[in-house]
Amino acid sequence: MASCQSDDQYEAKNRDPKNPTQVSSDFLFNSATKSLFDQMTSTNVNTNIFRMLGQHWTETTYVDEANYDFNTRNIPQNHWSEMYRDVLLDLNSAKTNNDADTQISAATKKTRNAQIEILTVYAWAQIVETFGNVPYSQALNAGQYVLPVYDDAATIYGDLLTRLTAAIPNLTDSGFGAADNIYGGNPANWKKFGNSLLLRMGVRVADVPALAAKSTAAIQSAVSGGVFTSNADNAALVYSNATPNTNPVWVDLVQSGRSDFVATNTLVDKMNALNDPRRPYYFDENLGTGVYVGGPYGDNNSFSAYTHVSARIIDPTNPASLLDYSEVCFYLADAAERSISGTPAAAAGFYNKGITASFDYWGAPNAATYLLNPDVNYLTAPGSWKVKIGTQLWLAMYNRGYEAWTAWRTYDFPGFNLPAVSEDPVPTRYTYPINEQNLNKTNYAAAAAAIGGDKQTTKVFWDKF
């Protein structure tokens, strides 16, 4: 009897250490974080074509994606799968494992769950803003809901605002600590991130009557709670120079030896017209001539004939951002114009800070001179306040294609081009994945009907007013 071993000891010997049945919450959190940053940063045309939807880049040899062909490469499916499976499901599992952890304090557990919740809300908001109505209440639970229903996008968004508002006060200690690759466990920075995301989301739905009260409350709560105040606060991931932790743009363009993209005439022509000092930081000059020439959007463009992206963009260590200070400043200008936070008189100051923050981030000089340009100056620039804010937000979101595209969808500023080959209108959403159409037919059909048709030109709920 003394020589007998317990069942636990036998079980321990039969565990495969290379295929664990339980994964720590910090590993899952870290994995989801990297998946989210990689997906939003990549320029692989199979998974992320947002830089083309935002008309910052266009293609050279293969031009299907710049002409808004979503389905040859099954792009919506790939984005959908990455966000649901590799981001949201990992975050959901991280919370489950964190709740079961008996080795950490109650405060640490609450902080970790708040960090998880902030990234979860970010990911859900991105999915809703991309597709419209999506599986939400029955999602991430394949054991119970094999074919989940689609929830109303505005209802989801309202719930996300509630969830985010509730999570922010729980950030009281270092949480995931060194496993947190965004802020290294700094709770003050996480609060700024949470509040800045709350501001962004509140502004996004400010024109939706059903969410007007929630929008105002979110914006005011975010501002009073404290949003980003400098580029040091940016929600950024710093990549390394060693694979697999390099910036995915380096992987897509340098490691793979590809020359698939040039800067667009949409962006370059606008920056040339404004004599924008950020051009040498955004782009490489054409053959050292000091001239910037954008490729016609959606055309078969010669790589050697048009302006390329700058060396900084393709550096393997170039940080990626989910949300930055410049963006926050433009949202504050928007909130001031609406008299939700501040007054319209304060909007110009926030607008100027947004432009200056972009210049500072890129290391570009002469922001003050640029602000005096009559076509830039807030008092004299053409268009409504939405056009002014939207145009400069779009320019500042270079290399962040999703936010560039969303700036256009939100503020409706002019200047986007029809693609040269297809001449299709600029999409306002991703269509639903083909797998959903084939496997979740009933719920897919109901969702498509509810949003006005599963088309690239159907507007998501906050883009209709």
pLDDT tens for residues 112-152? 999 999 999 999 999 999 999 999 999 999 889 999 999 99
- 89 and 140 Cβ atoms separated by less than 8 Å: yes
Q: Which range is least confidently modeled, 38-47, 57-66, 194-203, 281-290?
A: 281-290
Long-range CB pairs of 404-411 (<8 Å, 24+ gap) are 404/50, 404/51, 404/54, 404/55, 404/56, 405/50, 405/53, 405/54, 406/54, 406/129, 407/54, 408/54, 408/55, 409/459, 409/460, 409/463, 410/204, 410/462, 410/463, 411/386, 411/387
Other beta carbons within 10 Å of 176: 24
- AA identity, residue 394: W
Q: Is 239 left (phi over 0), alpha (psi -120 to 50) or beta?
A: beta
The confidence band for 23, taking pLDDT boundaries of 50, 70 and 90, is: confident
Average pLDDT over residues 40-55: 97
Distances in Å between the alpha carbon of 265 and those of 364, 416, 419, 420? Answer: 21, 10, 11, 12
Q: In which element (H, E) is residue 294 found?
A: none
Which of 203, 197, 206 lies closest to 225, judged by CA? 197
At 428, phi and psi to the nearest 5?
Answer: -110, 0
Distances in Å between the alpha carbon of 69 and those of 63, 74, 228, 431, 451? Answer: 9, 9, 37, 11, 21
Does the pLDDT value for residue 230 go beyond 70? yes
Average pLDDT over residues 264-290: 91
Average pLDDT over residues 339-362: 98
425 cis-preceded (ω within 30 degrees of 0): no
At 151, phi and psi to the nearest 5?
Answer: -95, 155
Helix (H/G/I), strand (E/B), else coil: 454: coil
Average pLDDT over residues 47-60: 98
pTM of the model as a whole: 0.94
Strands (E), 307-418: 308-309, 320-323
* Residue 434 in tokens: 């083909």
